[in-house]
Chain A
């Protein structure tokens, strides 16, 4: 490596520079980058296929580097959804798309792709789904784009980007019991706001990273978009390497931020001080700690609930289900509360079954569903009626997101969600 006055770069800058064939890229610069993977789902791929067809190009740039996952309105919720899935299936067949995952082998895209080893460190990935930023947990640059960008990506294997500035989050200490990655990201979003990292990269570093499980990291990177970020990214360490063993389909390329890289902002986060955190309606940055909620309860009464949803691309992984099971084991969900649990992939479902987690859920009075994005975005499988209230481990609590415009969503960790399911109100997992 050259030692002459080399301009320092963040991890994201380095990955983008390498994929743009440049030694250096500056924040604000527009570049064309080579893509390692292009993703679409049953809602976003059909318009992309239509745009791709307009180009009149016979084949996609690489049939191994496109992933198509029917996960949103599946199992097909109505005739129109079935037609959208069919369009994607026919396209996948005609184009010999290697990574098309039919019902039975599919999962929620952002849990499925890492699980299948389709994303490796150093990749540049675009997906026509905003939570594509999840793969930053693996030390990849990944970001959500729309259907037209997906079409262009499938045709050319390239995408234009404006190189983002970065916010560095220096994580210190270790999470306390009952607290997980979801509390970390809700805490951060509450602190910086839903546009606090708009157009920027969120780079997580520091000695605290080592103690976070891969599932914690996936959850944290997943919700970077809820702070407006372009991507969230973690350094590659021993845990990442262990996760990729016997899994990664391509060789990893490990990038590290330069010591003297320039950040728009540096924010220290003491993991040990993070409390169970809940986002109140109707914005992910409207956060309260469980202690504030308990005080509210004493003053104004408990926040009673009608439904609990545990799952999604944010919190439907095996660790999340293990955590939920811990609070549901040997308990019954509160009378009148509907508890819906969604393992994010077929493999997670099977692993949970073999570990006895599914039995714990069913005995507690929860239902367990096949993998789908359905309830998270108000598609199907758990829509809320007027005036109903849900605690969900999902990622958005916007007006009408999960059903009626006068329903309410409280975003929380699997621990808070499971403890709340038993209590029938938003509850502190420390007391469960």
Chain B
């Protein structure tokens, strides 16, 4: 499984309040949330992002509130993967649980520039920067997390474990 797209780069400590401000939390509809994704930090993002594009963050991406609306908004906007130096822990589990692939890779997070063409291979953890001709290697996912992803998210994996899938 792999994905490719254009990079949208953000900084350190991107909090869930800027990913999706609370004033839009009267719904959890991905299409509506997607329209306001990142609005408080870049109000042009929702208009520019294309299906498959890749979001890049620095340290502690997704800190703050536990709102699952944050990864839902990012996924709803068409982003196929988030790469960051590190992720805040609630965001990390929420992203997996809703099926938004995220990868921790400090080198990639630092070297990828806004607008670079990126290809990510989830199985090998290899991140290719097509624009710059560079390759970065991320840590493979812990087996426990891979089981959730392979199962299609947390709810699907529970159904599977009950023999209902």
Taking Cβ atoms with an 8 Å cutoff, the residues of A that contact B are 30, 43-44, 46-47, 50-51, 54-56, 72-73, 78, 80-81, 84, 127-130, 132, 144-149, 151-152, 155-156, 160, 162, 194-195, 198-199, 225, 228, 230, 283, 377-379, 396, 398-401, 405
Q: Annotate B57-80 by CB proximity to A: 1 below 8 A, 0 otherwise.
A: 001100111111101100000000
B residues with a Cβ closer than 8 A to A are: 13, 15, 17-18, 21-23, 25-28, 40-41, 59-60, 63-69, 71-72, 86, 88-90, 93-94, 97-98, 142, 144, 153-155, 158-159, 164
Give the dominant DSSP class at A's interface.
loop
Q: From B27, B93, B159, give the contact of A146 (CB < 8 A).
A: B93
CB closest residue in chain B, given A48: B68
Q: In the assembled complex, which residues on chain A have CB atoms less than 8 Å from the CB atom of B18?
A: 398-400
Q: A128-B66, A152-B154, A230-B89 are in contact. Are A78 and B26 (CB under 8 A)?
A: yes
Contact indicator B144/A73 (Cβ below 8 Å) = no
Contact B155 A55 (CB under 8 A): yes
Q: Chain A's nearest CB lies how many Å from the CB of B100?
A: 11
Q: Give the docked Cα–Cα distance between A3 and B98 (Å).
A: 45
A195 contacts B158, CB within 8 Å? no
In the assembled complex, 12 residue pairs joining A and B whose CB atoms fall closer than 8 Å, in A order, are A43-B25, A54-B155, A55-B158, A73-B26, A84-B26, A129-B66, A145-B66, A148-B68, A160-B144, A194-B63, A228-B89, A398-B17
Q: Give the CA-CA distance A396 to B67 in the complex, in Å.
A: 14
Contact A379 B23 (CB under 8 A): yes
Complex contact B17–A80 (CB within 8 A): no
Q: Nearest chain A CB to B43's CB is how many angstroms away? A: 9
- Note all chain A residues with C-beta closer than 8 A to B41: 399
B158 touches A152 (CB 8 A): yes
Question: Quick check: B142 and A378 within 8 Å, CB to CB?
Answer: no
For A72, list chain B residues within 8 Å (CB).
25
**A155-B158 Cα distance, complex, nearest whole Å:** 10
Q: Which residues of chain B come closer than 8 Å to A225, judged between CB atoms?
A: 64, 90
A378 to B22, CA, bound (A): 6
Shortest beta-carbon distance from A130 to chain B in Å: 4
- Assembled-state Cα–Cα distance A194/B64 (Å): 9
Once bound together, how far apart are the Cα atoms of A222 and B88, in whole Å? 17
| A72, B60: Cα distance in complex, Å | 25
Q: In the complex, which residues of chain A have a beta carbon less than 8 angstroms from the beta carbon of B28? A: 46-47, 50, 147
Contact between A56 and B93, CB atoms less than 8 A apart: no
CA distance A144 to B89 in the complex (A): 9
Least CB distance from A71 to B in Å reads: 13
CA separation between A377 and B69, bound complex, in Å? 14
Q: Are B17 and A130 in contact (CB under 8 A)?
A: no
Q: Which listed residue (B40, B90, B153, B154) contacts A400, Cβ 8 A? A: B40
Contact of A130 among B86, B90, B159 (CB under 8 A): B90
Bound CA–CA A418/B90 (angstroms) = 33
B68 contacts A198, CB within 8 Å?
no
